[in-house]
Amino acid sequence: MTLAEQTFYGVKHVVVDIEGTTSRSSFVFDVMFPYATERFADWLAEHGDEPATAAIVDQVGHEIGVVAPDRDTVVETLTEWVRADRKITPLKTLQGLIWEDAFSSGALVSDFYPDALVAMGAWHSQGVPISVYSSGSVLAQRNWYAHTPEGDRTVWITDYFDTANAGPKREESSYRAISAALGVAPEHLLFCSDVVTELDAASAAGWQVVRLRRAGEPHAEGDSAYPEVDEMTAIILA
């Protein structure tokens, strides 16, 4: 599949999704989750006395009805939650701590499609501001851009939006909130995403939208009414 370039007019600010748009959706499941899971035991051994980690242990104990659970029990429980894809707070918090440490030490770098870095670098050089809107937390987004395969790219990013500060990605009101927060009228905003229902919501809020339809991504199937590209370098800001 090779899709043509798409030209957009009057864009004053680009807002990009992460998974499936700038980055492989599979990276979180194939790389980040296993990375954290392999380190649960070591992390608890090394940081068990610190308040943040002690609180995680307490929360795990609370969930399974065990007071002061031993380390093996905590590790087994957390690992089982990963297998079951449970989005449970102590698990998410611990993964966040392990990933933050790994990003800061350079043990882990985030994932970007090469064309995404090229395109965003070009927009930045053109003087077009870029913001991020992803279901990952603002902290995770900042780490993602601070530790790219090509180094710290946070200088490109004006603002970060997640479901906490903007709202759900498939609701029109979230895009109105982002437009207001950025102080940019909707018709001058371009949203890049792989998920058509997100583009529906942005479009309903009056934004320009472009669909990233990348080979191998889970949302690449099915047609839509929106302009679509298979690489971000095919997005031309006139």
Q: How far is the CB of 193 from Mg ion (least distance, A)?
A: 5
**Could you give phi then psi for residue 97, rounded to 5 degrees?**
-65, -45
Among 13, 15, 16, 19, binds Mg ion (CB under 5 A): 19
Q: Is 17 in the site for Mg ion (CB under 5 A)?
A: yes
Contact predicate 54/62, CB 8 Å: no
Q: How far is the CB of 198 from Mg ion (least distance, A)?
A: 7
DSSP single-letter state for residue 19: B
Considering only residues 184 to 203 of the shown chain, the ones binding Mg ion according to CB under 5 A are 194
**Could you give phi then psi for residue 73, rounded to 5 degrees?**
-65, -40
DSSP single-letter state for residue 3: P
Q: Is 20 in the site for Mg ion (CB under 5 A)?
A: yes
Between residues 53 and 134, which has the closer beta carbon with respect to Mg ion? 134
Radius of gyration of the chain (CA): 20
Is the Cα torsion angle 173, 10, 17, 214 positive or negative in sign? Answer: positive
Between residues 24 and 153, which has the closer beta carbon with respect to Mg ion? 24
Considering only residues 99 to 118 of the shown chain, the ones binding Mg ion according to CB under 5 A are none
Query: How big is the chain, counted in residues?
Result: 238
Between residues 59 and 137, which has the closer beta carbon with respect to Mg ion? 137
Chain residues that interact with Mg ion, rule: CB under 5 A: 17, 19-20, 194
